[in-house]
Amino acid sequence: MPEREIRLWGDPVLRSVCDPVTVFDDSVEALAADLVDSSRPEGRAAVAAPQIGVGLRAFGYDLDGRTGYVINPEIEVGGRLRDIEEGCLSVPGLFFPTPRYEFARVRGVDAKNEPIEIEGTEVFAQMLQHEVAHLDGQVYVQTLPKERRREAMKAIRSSDWFLARMA
């Protein structure tokens, strides 16, 4: 499958809570393949369904030698909460320290509705938290503390990609 175009900040699909997948057919397998393929290019770690314009609870990843996808994920976090430099394909070129837990576990299903569980620490945990937040209609800049969020919004509004979309 080809990599899909990434939706940018301001696209309404990024602000919408995604619907759970309830029908497991060929279209779900195709979505899973698209998500994984869209995660593979250099500089990427993962892609959530709304980032490719699909309002369903699914994400794909290719990070730290681990590749896969999860449908209908539920997340559990633990450990210390700490700031980690973070960016997003939907907010290109901008990075801000983002509060993330050092451990995360996600339970969901695959395209055949069979259980999947993945977990990780550090950057992998950060990715899991980031992608599940997308499925809940949140882009990471919305989770930043007030002052950083203000700085992020100013940077977004002055970015070339955002200005081009507003023209």
CA distance 90 to 43: 13
How wide is the angle at C-alpha 143 spanned by C-alphas 37 and 36, nearest 5°? 5
Give the CA distances from residue 75 to residues 5, 9, 149, in Å, rounded to whole numbers and listed in that order. 26, 24, 24
Among 29, 86, 114, 131, the one annotated catalytic: 131
**Cβ(89)–Cβ(53) below 8 Å:** no
Question: Is 131 one of the catalytic residues?
Answer: yes
Q: Specify the length of the chain in residues.
A: 167
> DSSP string of 39-70?
H-STT--EEEGGGGT--BSEEEEEETTEEEEE
**Cβ(49)–Cβ(18) below 8 Å:** yes
By annotation, the residues acting in catalysis are 131
